Chains A and B, each alone.
Chain A
């Protein structure tokens, strides 16, 4: 059996809107990925631990609250601490263009802002997954 790409779709922080995350999860499912969806209001600790237990290839973070500059880099750092440097971490949501370079420098591989076609998220994952 060929390897199946496993993706954890997670919503860190306190905002209560996951329509975007669900649309992305569905698109990833239709691309043939196994998507583990953990629901709203997850702490970075919960997200990283779930990623470890599920042995995912990708962690896809969705965040609308504005706390991305704090939470995304923290999740990247915690993944590294747990020996998961090979996990691809991508983010999406309401993220100002000015913040994207900083997030990438912190180890977030790609940031998808509103209006991104889901197909380009799928393509990015397929191209960059390790």
Chain B
């Protein structure tokens, strides 16, 4: 079977297999991505991020259903944390999305972070590209529950929704750097709880202080995902954002930036791997470690010398 042709023809099995190949870095992964790449760039990719328990999975489930009613096909990538000790993971986001499982127009894939710390796994963006090539119109990337600084999601998405809930932290949280800066849209989920007005005010005040919002001020949308409240309005906000991205030229800017970052990241990975393999094979490296440990040499001089030899 030709996995690339089957992905393009809409085979779900092939799509699943292609993601596995890329995630596990099988030998065929590079060829799969090379051949699928020309077919990417059509989907709108939406990031859903926020703290653990904010309702990201339930919200994603409801948003996906709404897009299905509009006739769009949907891909969902749900990322959950990998144990730093065993390398294992419990990927439980599908529990909130069971009704979507048998929908022919929806494909859901769970991924473990496998050591990445930015809220996604290293291969999440590639998985989204494979779904894009397979013809999904809208792709959701749901991050792990994030704290303050896990902002990798913006590197992979066109629109980022930051999901918050009332009752977490005081107003100083709202002026910290990090995930609150990356929102294109804020969703205050569980908005039937106490503290929603206060959180709403804090976000609005934070937005007032932002100097760099030229022509898009992130809207704040209240939702109760478990009851389906506010979902249509949230999708309205996404639509407005897409229109803004297109009309302002920001979509092109963001995608150029993303392409550049992807190229740099790929280069970084390949060069790093190549250089490290050269340096660490042959046994000389172990001697250097010993000599640095004994304080015969310092690590800075050793690294400078190794690099000088490599780049000669």
Task: Establish whether residues B90 and A55, one from each chain, have CB atoms under 8 Å apart when the complex forms.
Answer: no
Q: Using Cβ atoms and an 8 Å threshold, which residues of chain A touch B112? A: 4, 34
Task: Establish whether residues A82 and B13, one from each chain, have CB atoms under 8 Å apart when the complex forms.
Answer: yes
Shortest Cβ distance from A57 into B: residue: B20
B: contact size bracket? 20 to 34
Question: B301 contacts the other chain (Cβ, under 8 Å)?
Answer: no
* CB within 8 Å for A1 and B25 given contacts A29-B83, A54-B110: yes
A84 to chain B, nearest CB (A): 8
Number of A-B contacts (CB under 8 A): 84
A25 to chain B, nearest CB (A): 6
Q: Using Cβ atoms and an 8 Å threshold, which residues of chain B touch A55? A: 16-17, 19-20
- Segment of A44-52, A65-73, A109-117 in the binding face: A44-52
Shortest Cβ distance from B19 into A: residue: A55
A86 and B101 CA atoms in complex are apart in Å by: 21
Question: B108 contacts the other chain (Cβ, under 8 Å)?
Answer: yes
Question: B276 contacts the other chain (Cβ, under 8 Å)?
Answer: no
Q: How many chain A residues have a CB neighbour from B under 8 Å?
A: 30
Interface of A is mostly: mixed
Question: A39 contacts the other chain (Cβ, under 8 Å)?
Answer: yes
A31 and B95 CA atoms in complex are apart in Å by: 22
Question: B88 contacts the other chain (Cβ, under 8 Å)?
Answer: yes
Question: A123 contacts the other chain (Cβ, under 8 Å)?
Answer: no
Task: Establish whether residues A34 and B88, one from each chain, have CB atoms under 8 Å apart when the complex forms.
Answer: yes
Shortest Cβ distance from B89 into A: residue: A34
Q: Using Cβ atoms and an 8 Å threshold, which residues of chain B touch A45? A: 102
Shortest Cβ distance from B115 into A: residue: A1
B88 partner, pick from A1, A35, A37, beta carbons under 8 A: A35
Give B contacts to A, CB under 8 Å. Answer: 12-13, 15-17, 19-20, 24-25, 82-83, 86-92, 94-95, 98, 101-102, 107-110, 112, 114
